[in-house]
Structure 1
């Protein structure tokens, strides 16, 4: 077959099991999890950028729109970026993606992919997609099943039924939720495969299955797409319609009910990188079985995962342990309990701890800022503005600011007056003034911002103009 496949990439999740590296402000799909590699979102894009695939449809959160766009540019891939006003689980993302693909071609072949999975053999992945697509042409909703490497309790399973071809494709006898250890052993003995969450289907087939089994998901998704508006390079779904989409997975909404489901046993290695122990399993190890990343030292330790994104982290005498350190949070867990990290995050959120959701370094469309220190009536930040980056024209009612340039050139506007500042020069922004920062140069602009005032929260920003349409 010569039909090209439309990738629908889901990139709106949070990934709390990989805290503190993955947080709501920058989740795991946009982070380099394996040493020296791009983010899993970027590697997913690269896998579907060849001649077999059409322009991708990326479904993500409004909060990640600029991160998503930046990494698309870095990967050299053009895509349709669709913004969900709120998280509604995978059924909504699949329905929206299928509706948009149907506008291109009512019988388009689509592949639904999570953006946070690791696939180590891109060629085998493409070949499997082609095989599954040939079956999808016949009106079968295909899924890629992963041959189990062990009796995992972290994945759902698929029971293969009657053969669909002579190359490892079968009808789906049933989908099974995550089992206990004894049941998982039984599933493997019976030839079950892991459910990867990757689906290949003809668009009209999937929309008909939504209509039959989850009509409320389809109806609200269609209204959200019909009411969508363009915003720069993004397509914003209608928020009122999207809020009415039931929060349900595509597995429960459609796949567990349809009689058209098929499964192809995948020929590539796969991991959903759902927890730190899963990342340990697919990472390169030293002679003692340790996976080490960043500023770390180990002594008389074996079979550990140790990562530091800054501070020197030393591990002594540990075995089968996860140690992950960032500038503001450290997690230490038995490898066997790595999945419980999400419970820690839930507890921190319930206590109102900022560290549960926000990184010290916060990314913006113009660059990033990172808090250095905070106290009563002051805050200090490190700010980096990429070449050409422009902050919004804004004012603050409760704080004054001092900008000290340490690298590059800053173009500063204060109450209509524009002035250039170079390294070791400082600009003063009094309370209430209208101001803007721009990097007119070809190198990064870095400066230290000192805020002084009765309140230094991020919500004390009144945007007057913004090239990124955030006003």
Structure 2
């Protein structure tokens, strides 16, 4: 009997700018319900959790998304919170430095890949496990279906066994001419970014090729602190070099085994890739999101996403991508859609808030939707989950009016504590210490009207908070 086990590690970073405006920095593509009401992260959890106990490497900004989706999927996981994003090599180093046996096999999977055949995937991983247990770093290469410039490539060499070859070299995303040469040679596979590595092999490789990354990751995990269900490496991690695992290890190690990926794979990295996941009719017309809010007349080869806030009608469209959200609309020629990444970078330089967040912002206690605003007022629709409560806080520049439209609210206002039912309201004066809680079994919904000289989210002074956000 083998003395090793497989431990899936899900890498939860990445901003997904090529799927804007649906994907935003504060709510990236891996957490958006893109496929049959499920997010790519939830699908990844379902796929890998049957292989072993799941470890997720995330960050402060995404920790509650990860936890909430895991609870929805019924999967218990351990979550390591990177103090800052430093690419895949340090993130994988933290996972390897976490507690476990030297012989454990770590299966590193990005959170944002679409792989529909779960059982086929698990069988492929299990089949490659003996290679990893023998000290090979196993990567899974996808057979190219076209000369794509969107993916990195792995050049394969001599056969290790019937279903695996040794890696010759990892190549970055090529130009179209090089991609065509790669495809015609038959020796190149797309780099899936999925790796199966024995824990001690990864640590030894980092120690040999990137000793600074190795030392900082070990030091950060030696001084890790537990924060509820989260594990926080020490601040020493912030000094680590930003580097991908491809550059740090894969291009330099000798024992790299490339196993052909079996089944369908997509990194869902662009709107063209999303086209393949959409409900496409005989005219090549694809629908995403709230599909009942979409209607087409004489429209072909068009992808449309609709939200629950607006109806979308297309007439006579050809070769377009139309992505509608409550606060941003993108219309692009299908063959120009890759330029959205540059557009997002330009918008971010210009300070557009739509790059960072959706109008609806998810919080650990629920969510809020900014319905309307002007210079001195803002209206929000707030939803508080059953049993959840916001922080005890005050504002120095604004007052608030709360109107309960569904459920029951338990309100703290300075020295008072009282209940509000549906159609009841209250007023929170500027500077008052306040909190709202949901003591009921159904979601609490209320309308909040803010008024004052400054309405920014940073005008919050927290005195007590269950989610580690207390103002210092």
Higher mean displacement: 288-297 or 404-413? 288-297
Q: CA offset at residue 314 of structure 1?
A: 2.2
* Counterpart among 229, 238, 249 of residue 254 in structure 1: 249
What residue number does 1:41 align with? 41
Contact 2:368–2:383 (8 Å) recurs in 1? yes
CA RMSD of aligned residues (A): 1.2
SS in 1 for 2:197: strand
Q: CA offset at residue 301 of structure 1?
A: 1.5
Counterparts of 1:265 and 1:15, CA distance in 2: 26
SS in 1 for 2:314: strand
What residue number does 1:152 align with? 148
Q: CA offset at residue 320 of structure 1?
A: 2.1
Counterparts of 2:279 and 2:312, CA distance in 1: 19
Q: CA offset at residue 20 of structure 1?
A: 0.7
What residue number does 1:451 align with? 450
Asked whether 1:182 is paired with 2:165, we answer no
CA distances 1:41-94 after superposition (whole Å, capped 9, x unpaired): 0110001121xx221110012111111110110011111101112111111111
Counterparts of 1:234 and 1:177, CA distance in 2: 34
CA distances 1:400-423 after superposition (whole Å, capped 9, x unpaired): 111000000000011121100001
Counterparts of 1:18 and 1:336, CA distance in 2: 15
Change (3 A) 1:169 1:37: farther
What residue number does 1:435 align with? 434
* Counterpart among 111, 117, 125 of residue 115 in structure 1: 111
What residue number does 1:284 align with? 279
What residue number does 1:368 align with? 367
Higher mean displacement: 301-310 or 115-124? 301-310
Asked whether 1:19 is paired with 2:20, we answer yes
Q: CA offset at residue 317 of structure 1?
A: 2.3
Counterparts of 1:302 and 1:180, CA distance in 2: 29
Q: CA offset at residue 178 of structure 1?
A: 1.2
SS in 1 for 2:401: strand
Asked whether 1:61 is paired with 2:79, we answer no
Contact 2:278–2:287 (8 Å) recurs in 1? no
Counterparts of 2:362 and 2:258, CA distance in 1: 40
**How many residue pairs get matched?**
464
Where in structure 2 are the equivalents of 1:205-244 lying within 5 Å? 205-239=201-235, 241-244=236-239
Asked whether 1:72 is paired with 2:70, we answer yes
Counterparts of 1:259 and 1:406, CA distance in 2: 63
What residue number does 1:349 align with? 348
Asked whether 1:173 is paired with 2:168, we answer yes
Counterparts of 1:275 and 1:54, CA distance in 2: 31
Contact 2:80–2:231 (8 Å) recurs in 1? yes
Counterparts of 1:243 and 1:187, CA distance in 2: 38
SS in 2 for 1:150: coil
Counterparts of 2:202 and 2:128, CA distance in 1: 14
Counterparts of 1:178 and 1:468, CA distance in 2: 40
Counterparts of 2:89 and 2:333, CA distance in 1: 34
TM-score (norm 1): 0.96
TM-score (norm 2): 0.96
CA distances 1:183-220 after superposition (whole Å, capped 9, x unpaired): 21221222211100000011111111111111121122
Where in structure 2 are the equivalents of 1:269-280 lying within 5 Å? 269-280=264-275
Q: CA offset at residue 283 of structure 1?
A: 3.0
SS in 2 for 1:303: strand
Where in structure 2 are the equivalents of 1:76-91 lying within 5 Å? 76-91=74-89
Counterparts of 2:72 and 2:122, CA distance in 1: 22
Counterparts of 2:219 and 2:339, CA distance in 1: 38
